[in-house]
Amino acid sequence: MSDDTPEVLTEVRGGVLVVTINRPDAKNAMNKAAAEGISAAMDRLDSESGLQVAVLTGAGGTFCSGMDLKGFLRGESPSIPGRGFGGLSQWTPNKPVIAAVDGYALAGGMELAMSCDLIVANAGAKFGIPEAKRGLVAAAGGVIKLPRQIPPRIAMELALTGDFIDAERAYELGFINRVVAGPALEGALELAARIAENGPLALAASKAIIRASHTWGEDEMWDKQAPFIAPVFTSSDAREGATAFAEKRKPNWQGK
């Protein structure tokens, strides 16, 4: 099952929505049409009950080389109002999103990857926010989100030098989840399949809490967590999960 657009391709594999930036001749540089395509795909992810997780990747061996400078010079913005660069940097869908990174994830491309919930990278992948080399700032999350995902001094070094790091170094820093020898998409699909086996309400609540809780103080975190988990524990899926465990079978999730 597929739904192809010029700049972004989508394909459903089981409960996984594969979203591919399809501008290989431009190293998948982000333009307005690609950002709109990603944004639309994320809306589809959340709206279709049969979809559990999305994998975002790039065609032609590159994840995303950043903003399309030709589009920028034409006055085009690769951002979606309220959602940011590539339709993801300032917003996230309710369901998990995995970045599958081959080749380069640079500037906005690295910021797009860090906006996903999980990252799987090929061993030859390179990451970097080289904006300072061009007199710019990594404004799509590089200088505000990266210090929350890796040690702040390392984030400072990457922002001030503009230097790249390889997948192994990114893994050591905890920036990515897995390094694979083959195509990143294969590793990401394996991870996505494991996620898709689990309860959809539990996945959405877990994602929301982990993303939000870094701003919660110790005196308020339990109270703030409660509204997220209460509907999960009283759901039909929670009862189904317990019943399936007792009956030694796979759960039949309904998302309610």
Q: Distance between alpha carbon 203 and the CA centroid of its chain, in Å?
A: 14
Q: Is 131 a catalytic residue?
A: yes
* CA nearest neighbour of 107 among 150, 64, 56: 64
Q: Is the CA virtual torsion 86, 195, 173, 220 positive or negative?
A: positive
CB 99 within 8 A of CB 112: yes
Number of H helices, E strands in the chain: 10, 12
Check 7, 11, 48, 131 and give the catalytic one. 131
Q: Checking DSSP bridges between strand 104-106 and strand 126-128, what pairing results, if any?
A: parallel
Q: Which two tokens stand for residue 168?
A: 């192994």
* Single-letter amino acid code for the residue at 90: Q
Check 11, 36, 111, 218 and give the catalytic one. 111
CB 71 within 8 A of CB 32: yes
DSSP state of 67: B
CA distance 226 to 229: 5
Give residues with Cβ within 8 angstroms of 80, minimum separation 6. 35, 36, 39, 87
Q: Which residues are catalytic?
A: 111, 131
